[in-house]
Amino acid sequence: MSLRTRLSGIALLSRESRLLLVMTTLFGFGYGGIGLMLRPLYVLRLGLGPAYYGVYSALGSLAFMAGSLSAGWLGTRLGARRTMGLGAVGCLLGSGIMPLTEFFARAWWPYWPIVSNLVLSAAWAFVSVNTVPALSAVTAERNRDRAIGLASTLNGLGILAGNLIGGMLPRGFATLLGSAEATNDGFRLAISTALVFGAVVIALLVALPDRPTEVISAISTGRSQSIRPLLVVGLFGLFIPAASSAVGTFATPYLDQELGLSTEAIGLVSTISQALAVLGTGATPWLARRMTSRRADILTSLGMVVTLLPMAGSAHWAAAVFGRVVSSAMYTIRFPLTQMFAMAQVRQSERPLMSAVLFTSAGLCGTALSYAGGRLAASHGYRAVFWASAAISGLAVLLYALVTRLLIARGRLQRA
């Protein structure tokens, strides 16, 4: 299915769905594209070392995990729009803190990036956790998978554009300031551009209605929640994302610090990765229909692990670029499939909680891997982190396949 054909499906969705899709595109551009690529590079340029970077990333993942738990709870009580609005305001605040780091005494430098990351990561969870439940609530059930696939595609397009433009921004701003090199001043201004897109996201959220009526009705039924799907998704969500967490956290420092690629080259690598992801996300609804979301999830999870191996096994830049590009793209394809399978296991009233479990598990995985990976990278290099994470993810995927197959055969999980 072509990208044009996929995007034409937007016309079948409600106005509220289209507003949410625009919001996730801009969010991907400003925070997932420009911000997520440049913030780690700026932290590294403060000269605080890989061990500090591991702590910085771990605390961000911990904040994301805590924010995910709160986001699921608030999403069922305040409604998706208000919860995402709180998150968007928090993202503005968190993004505004980091560029101020060098205006304080050097002794304070290690603290401000962490404070910024804590606020931004927790706020990011408020938006991310509630996006798919919000889409599900304002989309007809027959179009649910289409909406989830479109959200992933458009978010990927936003990240793609953000990576492409973000790689050029530091040197571009530095040039405007009279320097031929990508200075820290250029990085600070580039990171600050996320504030503009955050303001637009807030404006879009204001245009959304409050919590839909059908969600209120579902919550008021008082039926017990489906514990088994929550436990299964949460347990394996702790380990399967290890490979993607390693790439997301340590690939950029590895390319920058050990292989010496320029900011523009890293931006190009990230752009190629997102281009593949955008092309691939269109296949997610097709894969879900063709082989069920569960089987497609397992297949892409294994692919994510396998494509990480060249980065772990070779110090050549080509192997690192291949691992970074393909593994990240595979993750972007995989996660909507995980969401499709997870959402099919619970009622509409439970979907914010299920989404919170997914993101919380991923956040806990990222926290542990970032902290342990930072120490491992400092002592044995970044490639040791990639080996360890590939082994953890590979074993978790195999166990997930066996356990879910058994539960489906016994009627304890839905075949979806």
Dump strand ranges (E) for 201-341.
none
Angle between helix 112-137 and 317-344 (nearest 10)? 40
> How large is the average pLDDT for residues 29-50?
85
Domain span at residue 60 reads: 3-409
pLDDT given for residue 216 in this prediction: 35
Whether the pLDDT of residue 8 is over 80: the answer is no
Query: What digits encode the pLDDT tens for the residues 321-363?
Result: 998 888 877 887 888 888 888 888 887 777 777 878 888 888 7
User: Going by C-beta distance under 8 Å and a sequence separation of 6 or more, which residues neighbour residue 221?
Assistant: 349
- DSSP alpha helices (H): ranges in 98-143? 112-137
| 414 occurs within a structural domain | no
| 40 occurs within a structural domain | yes
Burial status of residue 391 (CB atoms within 10 A of its CB: 0-12, 13-18, 19 or more): middle
- DSSP character for 28? I
Q: Distance between CA atoms of 91 and 79, rounded to whole angstroms?
A: 19
Residue 265's pLDDT band (cuts 50, 70, 90) = confident
Query: What digits encode the pLDDT tens for the residues 213-247?
Result: 343 333 333 434 468 888 888 889 889 999 988 99
Instruction: Name which residue leads in pLDDT, 71 or 402.
Output: 402
CA atoms within 13 A on the CB side of 367: 21
CA 61 from centroid of its chain's CA atoms? 11
Residue 397's pLDDT band (cuts 50, 70, 90) = very high
| 158 occurs within a structural domain | yes
> How large is the average pLDDT for residues 122-151?
79
pLDDT given for residue 165 in this prediction: 86
- DSSP character for 138? T
User: Going by C-beta distance under 8 Å and a sequence separation of 6 or more, which residues neighbour residue 384?
Assistant: 376, 377
- DSSP alpha helices (H): ranges in 259-292? 263-281, 283-291
| 238 occurs within a structural domain | yes
Residue 301's pLDDT band (cuts 50, 70, 90) = very high
Query: What digits encode the pLDDT tens for the residues 47-76?
Result: 887 788 888 888 888 888 888 888 878 877
The helix (H) or strand (E) run that includes residue 371 is helix 351-380
Helix (H, G, I), strand (E, B) or coil at 46: coil
pLDDT given for residue 66 in this prediction: 85
Are the CB atoms for 202 and 89 separated by under 8 Å? yes
Q: Distance between CA atoms of 360 and 282, rounded to whole angstroms?
A: 26
> How large is the average pLDDT for residues 90-99?
90
CATH classification of the domain holding 348: 1.20.1250.20
Residue 299's pLDDT band (cuts 50, 70, 90) = very high
CA distances from 330 to 41, 281, 326 (A): 23, 9, 6
For residue 413 the two structure tokens come to 């999980």
Q: Which residue, 121, 106, 109, is CA-closest to 52?
A: 109
> How many other β-carbons are positioned within 10 Å of the β-carbon of residue 165?
17
| 415 occurs within a structural domain | no
Q: Distance between CA atoms of 338 and 323, rounded to whole angstroms?
A: 22
| 364 occurs within a structural domain | yes
For the chain, what is the domain count? Answer: 1
| 298 occurs within a structural domain | yes
Q: Which residue, 55, 17, 60, is CA-closest to 35?
A: 60
pLDDT given for residue 57 in this prediction: 85
Q: Distance between CA atoms of 67 and 327, rounded to whole angstroms?
A: 26
CA 87 from centroid of its chain's CA atoms? 15
Mean pLDDT of the chain: 82
Are the CB atoms for 173 and 43 separated by under 8 Å? no
> How large is the average pLDDT for residues 175-199?
82
Helix (H, G, I), strand (E, B) or coil at 265: helix
Provide the percentage of residues in the chain whose pLDDT is more than 90. Answer: 17
